[in-house]
Structure 1
Amino acid sequence: MSEEIVSFLQEIPLFADLPEEELERLAEAGEIQRFHRGEVIVKEGDLPEAFYIIRRGSVVVRRSIPGRPEQIVAYFHEKDYFGEMAFLRETTRNATVEAISPLEVFSLDKDAFRGLLYRHPELQDLLEAQMEQRLTLGETRFPWLGDDEVVLSFRRKHLIALLRQSWWWIIPLFLGSAAAAVAQQTGELPYIILSSSLFALAALTFLYLYLDWRNDYYVVTNRRIVHLERVLLVREDRDEAPIQRVQDVNIVRKGPLAKVFDFGDMVIQTAGTTGQIVFRDLPSPDEVLEVVLADVERSRRRSRVETKKIFREELQERLGWKPRGEALEGEEAAEGGAQEGEEGEEEKEPEKKPFDFLLPLRVIGYWLKSTFYVPMWEREDDTITWRTHWFVLVRKSMAPFFNLLFFTGLLWLIGMGWGPMETLSPSLRRMAWVLIIPVDLFILGWWFYRFWDWKNDLYIITSDRIIDLKKRPLFLQEERRETTLDKIQNVNLTIPSPIAQLFNYGTIEIETAGEVGAFEFKNVYDPRRVQQEIFAHMDELQQRQRESEERRRLRQFADWFAIYDELKREQQQMGVELEEGETS
């Protein structure tokens, strides 16, 4: 067993440079511990007792936040370690670690772990650096992260990407320096003003470029990869893909600078129609590559674990091997249902309600609310409906609004007899009223047409499909495009302008693998949330389809096992009958 532990420790990157004698010493000092799923290994607030390295299984790390529910900050898997933070900081545990699968760990007690750090102080430096990185990732949260989603890698573009745009501010800086030199020699005010303006322009340009560089980032989570590209005050694009759709990852380094300063482009091949998400000018791309590949492998491993679980359930059901706990639950549910049935036998007489005299007003109020109060999104069970942003309605209503304002103002001036209208005879005024009132009514109808046209355009996502519905008022035209969620390959986000940034609307581009082509949810409210909801519905559908397909396929295997079990029982029965015949 000691040799097996030594071989395991040699595969841990943290111990890669330790001599074999030290690893043998650790193997003797440590012990193997096993935990069941749901069992707590480390509890927040406890004193540190051991340092753990995972041999098999996975754990989730949760941290309490005052006034909020526990937050998931990390997942650890095979060959990951945890428990070092409390030793390094000499404090209590700052998080709870729970097994989310059958778990086997190699643990070192506090004396053995502190002795290791004393003999190899370079390990403490490495652990502290990795601890800071873990803390940063654990505290990195985005509004679009799911409840059980954690950040595994967060990077901005390399500083080289910022320096490439230096000429934007170096040019005004150079011209400002030249103007300052002339101003120093001549002392003339125009040169002083010019140099100051150019210096201010250079400073503002550098600040804009820096903020624009800082706004772009690349994120890898345990569920997806995300590339956010913002042009400050102009637009925002976000490309992302579920981690299970990643097919291949390559790193491209262009030129000697990329090798010297360790940056490059990481090209992520996905199952989408565009096929690629590119992390350009990515610092330390090899590290991010390892994170992505490990994430993909864990996704595949989870799929295999789910398959085994489904197979076990199907086999138990087919062979009639129902676990005792489930049988007891079924009996209790049946008894509870019987009791509810007995209680439900006593019927109560319906109460007579007095007539509601305000009912007509309530009906009118309900009609006005349902007609003119139009939310930009609404949810009913698993179905979410979005409309285009109200800013689009305002933009479409500008022409009828100003026309209505003009003709209504003209009608009012004629009625009051102000200004040049004072000279009009009563007959001409009546004629003007007769002509203008229908125009006002026509313009009002024009506005209602625009309103209903805006209201009738819907973007819908259900539990298994997306729908783009466009209906013209008065039954003039209706166009309905839809496809199933499993045909969606990529979902991209674009916020096209500063106005769109201000009012929080944008366009969602949905690439599909079907003949129906790409979908566009144009000018939709809160596009980041729309994108997040689409991916969440896709994940749920894929989970249901995967379970359904696995159950169908494994049901066939279960049938074979059931037939085998029946044949085996028949053979046993025949053997018993033969023995009874011989004895008789």
Structure 2
Amino acid sequence: MADEELLAVLAAQPLFRRLDPEELAQVAARVRIKTLAPGEELFIEGEMFPAYFILRSGRLALLRIDADGVERLVRHLQPGEGIGAHALFLNDPRDVTAMAITRVEGWLLEKSEFDALLAERPDLIHRLELPPDVEARLRAPRFPWLEPEEQVLAAIHRHWFSLIPVLLPPLVLLLVFIVLTTFLVAELGWWPALFLNAIPLVLLGAQVWNWWDDQYILTTRRIVHIERERWLYVFPGPETRQDMPLDQIQEVQILRRTPLASPYLLDFGDIEVEAFSGRIAFSNLPQPDEIRRLIYEQIDRLRALQQARQRYRLQQELRHRLGLTPAPAEVAPGSSPPPPLSLVGRIWLIVRAVARYLFPPLRETVGDRVIYRKHWVALFRSIGLGPPVALGLWILGWVLHAHHVWPIDRIEPGIRWGGLILSGMLLGIWWWWRYENWRNDEYILTPSQLILSQRLPMLMREETQTANLARIQSVEYTIPSILARLLNYGHVLVRVPGGDFRLQYVGNPRQVQQEITRRMEAYRRRLQEEEAARQRRHVVDTIAAYDRLRFGPPGVGGGPGVSP
């Protein structure tokens, strides 16, 4: 039976106040007691803590580090007050640190327990009073390229004013057709007249469709621009996606190119984003001031979380160095030799090797490297008509030779055999050359580099281009045609200072762009972590040296600043 005090406290929480006593009892059954000693943190700013906490007694301070690295007191949590409703629904890191000033006791509802309750009672979600921002985030669209902890903040289309220039021609055409068919309906009949008027209506709908396909998406990590075109206004055409990581943005400017774009009238404009990689413009966006505010707000949040993570890790290293907490034990990696292969296993290994040579995968993972090869379409395009025509003529030669058809029958049989075998060998070498040339072109993605490798067969020539992932400015992909959409291939453009890298005819270009972006961000985070670790070690060494001078070596004491 749930505690009456807990039931009363849960009923007072804004999140649960619409639940009836039976539902509150089900929530209370999944709550546990949590105690903190003075100075102990319940959670750290920048870290994940998927739980909802209600203070029962004690003083709990909420602290936040701003983008400049200054830690400030936000407020004190009051007894009976809860914190962490966002954590039950969103995968966001905490934006404050909760530290116990005195001994703290409270109730903790973990997200795993809450999810289990919602799985048993799906109708419960409709009776919860969600915070407005959480409800908006849950309603936001989800895209397959989002990272697990990435959330959509806004999905925006261009302002409707940008439709006017493209809608004017079909509107004028519609008016002309209406006037003409009004006078000619008696001669043409109703069906031809309706058909003529339907043509500009289809054009109008297609223009609106194209406008809707152009989308700008702001997430907790980046700005994404997706632009789709349509062949004949209907069929899916080229598709392009452009990403801009938020941590690369330096400045966001707004341009209003007409008096109608004033915030007091139609309120739209262009947003120019200045980043380390260059300048990117987003045109005709509604409420550009609000979009800029969201971008800057998220940038400041990311910087503050980064500052908080570095501060927390520095505290952990200082505690270990000063002996306040034990250092984490290192676990030696275990390894066991692979079992020997049987005869069947060896044969199967050979068969697999031959099959992989003849039909190489378009994407292959080898250790920590990902290897991309060009799509089969690129092979067929490189072959052209020459090899198929030569193959057809060679087959025709064998048919004429087998049936002794003129003029083949006038050639000596030995010469015929030799000519057909030699031409078959040359044709086979030609086919093999084309195939091997296609197979040898590889795009290699490592944890720190992107490598473009092009090799001619028999090691005649090899060209390699290498780009450090930290220097990549942006990654874009294009799906150039309907055929490319059906066969799932396209081109990926990697912008690097000094020249662009073009990954042409890669399979699943969306996945390729996503993997390059993911590894690029991971590599940059690793470099930042390594630089921050060096700075932390310097700070820790300085404090440790001061501690030794002040108090003497550990276990000895008697430093110059200590009286005997």
TM-score (norm 2): 0.72
Equivalent of 1:266 in 261, 267, 271:
271
In structure 1, what is the Cα distance between the partners aligned to 2:205 and 2:380? 35
2:551–2:562: 8 Å Cα contact kept in structure 1? Answer: no
Q: How does 1:112-261 map to 2 (within 5 A)?
A: 133-137=136-140, 140-185=141-186, 187-188=187-188, 193=192, 195-232=193-230, 233-259=236-262, 260-261=265-266
Q: How does 1:89-104 map to 2 (within 5 A)?
A: 95=89, 100=94, 102-103=96-97
* Aligned residue type for 1:381: G
Structure 2 residue 555 is matched with structure 1 residue 573:
no
Distance 1:315 1:129, change over 3 A: closer
Please state how far the C-alpha of 1:567 moved relative to its aligned partner.
1.0
1:103-123, Cα deviation, whole Å (9 max, x unpaired): 459xxxxxxxxxxxxxxxxxx
Aligned to 1:442: 426
Distance 1:577 1:504, change over 3 A: closer
Identical aligned residues as a percent: 26
SS at match of 1:518: strand
1:192-235, Cα deviation, whole Å (9 max, x unpaired): 63x44432321221222122111111111111111111112221
Distance 1:552 1:363, change over 3 A: closer
2:398–2:420: 8 Å Cα contact kept in structure 1? Answer: no
Structure 2 residue 381 is matched with structure 1 residue 395:
yes
* Aligned residue type for 2:154: S
Aligned to 1:460: 444
2:453–2:464: 8 Å Cα contact kept in structure 1? Answer: yes
1:554-575, Cα deviation, whole Å (9 max, x unpaired): 2222222121111112496167
Structure 2 residue 369 is matched with structure 1 residue 383:
yes
In structure 2, what is the Cα distance between the partners aligned to 1:537 and 1:351? 33
1:387–1:524: 8 Å Cα contact kept in structure 2? Answer: yes
Structure 2 residue 532 is matched with structure 1 residue 543:
no
Please state how far the C-alpha of 1:451 moved relative to its aligned partner.
0.9
In structure 2, what is the Cα distance between the partners aligned to 1:128 and 1:482? 48
1:502-549, Cα deviation, whole Å (9 max, x unpaired): 222222221223x5x221111211111111111111121112111111
* Aligned residue type for 1:573: G
Q: How does 1:27-38 map to 2 (within 5 A)?
A: 35-37=42-44
Please state how far the C-alpha of 1:284 moved relative to its aligned partner.
1.3
How many residues align structurally? Answer: 458
Larger deviation: 303-312 or 382-391?
A: 303-312
Distance 1:204 1:438, change over 3 A: farther
Aligned to 2:17: none
In structure 2, what is the Cα distance between the partners aligned to 1:368 and 1:541? 35
Where does the alignment leave 5 or more consecutive residues of structure 1 unmatched? Answer: 1-32, 59-77, 80-92, 106-126, 580-584
Q: How does 1:495-534 map to 2 (within 5 A)?
A: 495-513=479-497, 515=498, 517-534=499-516
2:271–2:288: 8 Å Cα contact kept in structure 1? Answer: yes
SS at match of 1:538: helix
1:240–1:277: 8 Å Cα contact kept in structure 2? Answer: no
2:51–2:88: 8 Å Cα contact kept in structure 1? Answer: no
Aligned to 1:300: 303
1:35–1:99: 8 Å Cα contact kept in structure 2? Answer: no
Where does the alignment leave 5 or more consecutive residues of structure 2 unmatched? Answer: 1-35, 66-73, 76-86, 100-129, 231-235
SS at match of 1:144: coil
2:475–2:494: 8 Å Cα contact kept in structure 1? Answer: yes
* Aligned residue type for 2:395: G
Equivalent of 1:411 in 394, 397, 404:
397
Aligned to 1:323: 325
Distance 1:436 1:399, change over 3 A: farther
* Aligned residue type for 1:218: Y
In structure 2, what is the Cα distance between the partners aligned to 1:308 and 1:433? 81
Larger deviation: 199-208 or 566-575?
A: 566-575
Distance 1:141 1:557, change over 3 A: same
Distance 1:527 1:130, change over 3 A: same
Aligned to 1:63: none
